[in-house]
Structure 1
């Protein structure tokens, strides 16, 4: 069966609750995953279920190595679970698809291509790069991530933050309904990280995609997310799913922010 058992995907809602036509629902149902290590199975995910409403931003936090990135790869279609199912907009995820963009911790830009060429890689692969609307979209994304003065630059000429902006633009140029972020800011300095947190929030509000982000930074999760899902140590189980009902933009010194931070850190044993 290719669709969610029992019915259709949830109603699409974007930032602030506004309806979105593009969808972006994600449903992980009783997902189990394990890898083989020294000829023995290494359990990673243990009966994990998670549903994300279209247009929302959800962060996954938990101990290092517990399986958060594994779940993200399953949603992206880069791997398959040994049990359970993943659905995007009501259809089973059987492999990668442009409707699900991925941004990794490392920018993974192709070093022989310019910023413009890297960002335009998706349309190029799909054979539509010469269409005027696609060229305009590439230009739009370059400007949205403030790289207008670097479109002819190569990755080796970019700072870490600029390279990650290019990666974000490369993922968004395909108009994904779902953007998966695997610790995209984990290797950046504090100032650059703060700047890019605001950039991600701005792009999410402007584009209306569903965001699912893996992060070890609890404050980052609270700054960006509508929900924070907390995982146990490996094999990962969901131990808490906390709504973040705070007005945007958020302040770290807000009492509600501090209370949620304490709750999450307590769940993580910190």
Structure 2
């Protein structure tokens, strides 16, 4: 899937967006200073860092299946309880947190519905589950320019529009089916400035996520065609890209 990468590679590819999205998700979840919180699929810690700012490290738990990401969170955010583990089998007791959050994670779980059920299991009664997924299906995710360019070069390419949670209402349906109560769907939008085309393009070459995996599998000539098509579809630099995620908040 393209997530067995160095933390710095993820930071450069998605970190600009994830860091801006994290406060919006924490706001939507109503994370309070006294809350005990869990970041599911924490990656190198964009959301984890926001939770630490709000509650203090001692109240923050984080889990990810990638050892390098867990090590990065432990190094960057001392005091956080960062554990190696999968969302589908969370290494936490029933009802042990007040708020469980998953930022940009659900589409990449082996079993997204089981992962959501696990998040509800570890959240106390009447606690909060909050998750968000980029609106790839609606064409407002951060990778729209990349996949638009890819389809111009390779019309048969499969983008991320069919990913779990990436279409309007899908994440909401999944959270309700998992047992989430009073579930509400909203949209979270961030704006990310880019100083140059090269600053935008270079992270795409690092092999991160489906986009990075697709590009890495191309031959050199095809990769150049995609790059130049991306250059054509993007605004002249410097430019700012807006990206929107579907967000669902529910009670356990």
Higher relative helix content: 2
Give TM-score scaled by structure 1 length: 0.26
Give TM-score scaled by structure 2 length: 0.28
